[in-house]
Amino acid sequence: MFLKQAALITSILLFFLVSCGESSKKNNPNVEHKVAKTDSIPKDEAVLEEKKEEAFVLTEENAIDFFFNYAKEVKEDKVKLTTSMGSFTVQLYDNVPYHKANFIYLARKGYFNNTQFHRVVKDFIIQGGNSDDKETSKKRRLIGRYLLPPDAKKGYKHHRGTISMPSSERNNPHKLASPYEFFIVVTKPGSYHLDGSYTPFGRVIEGMDVVDAINNVPVGDGDWPWQNIYILKAEVL
């Protein structure tokens, strides 16, 4: 008798609890919706979080390893420079890998675009890759601060038309190269006193007449041309 009464009481309690649960859902039709909306992450925000990465910046610690690996992927060896005075094309040497990879990397990043030939020495060189505007400084900060080791023992000389890289003006006893600038020799037949101190990494194969025209512009103090000569675009061919 006692067991039957206990079972009856339990059944009544279960019926009551189930009824209350259903009543609660019926009286609050938005409860499940609100909970789902609160706990969910919008799909577009989740994708943005997955894609968000810290920008890569070159440093003196990682530049050598980076360009060592980058050089393995580079198949192209020509870059066309379109200037405000015409265009010319340089071919880069395969066995000077760091300097070749650096020049192509900067061209692809758009660094050279809107920089200038900021130093012109009559019958000697034209030097480019710098500018006095803030945009150039900003691009350098975004790409990174680094130097490249000299590689002047591959047998290349500073013949006329050779493209080479100047050394940094910082405390630099090992003549590490300043990666953002370059110079082109216009001396006939060449400027061989530069051999061993700077790294030839290519040569002009088309448009040397444009290089000569740039070398003939009037200049002021510091060999800076009176009229700005811009590199409008650098294209990897």
Query: What's 76's domain CATH number?
Result: 2.40.100.10
Residues 123 and 220 in one domain: yes
Tally of domains within the chain: 2
The distance from CA 49 to its chain's CA centroid, rounded to whole angstroms, is: 23
Residues 170 and 134 in one domain: yes
Its pTM stands at 0.77
Residues 137 and 201 in one domain: yes
What pLDDT, in 10s, does the model give residues 156-210?
Answer: 999 999 999 998 766 677 778 889 999 999 999 999 999 999 999 999 999 999 9
Residues 139 and 230 in one domain: yes
- The stretch 57-63 carries a mean pLDDT of 96
**What pLDDT score was predicted for residue 121?**
98
Q: Would you place residue 54 in the very low, low, confident or very high pLDDT band (cuts 50, 70, 90)?
A: confident
Q: Residue 37: pLDDT above 80?
A: no
13 belongs to a structural domain? yes
Range of the domain at 27: 2-51
Residues 125 and 229 in one domain: yes
Ramachandran sector of residue 30 (left: φ over 0; alpha: ψ -120 to 50; beta: rest)? alpha
62 belongs to a structural domain? no
59 belongs to a structural domain? no
Q: Both tokens of residue 74?
A: 């580079």
Any idea what the Cα angle at residue 185 is, between residues 111 and 131, rounded to 5°?
30
What pLDDT, in 10s, does the model give residues 114-142?
Answer: 999 999 999 999 999 999 899 999 999 99
Maximum CA extent, the chain = 122
- The stretch 52-81 carries a mean pLDDT of 92
- The stretch 200-228 carries a mean pLDDT of 97
Residues 109 and 149 in one domain: yes
Question: At which residue do the structure tokens 């350098």 appear?
Answer: 140
Residues 99 and 16 in one domain: no
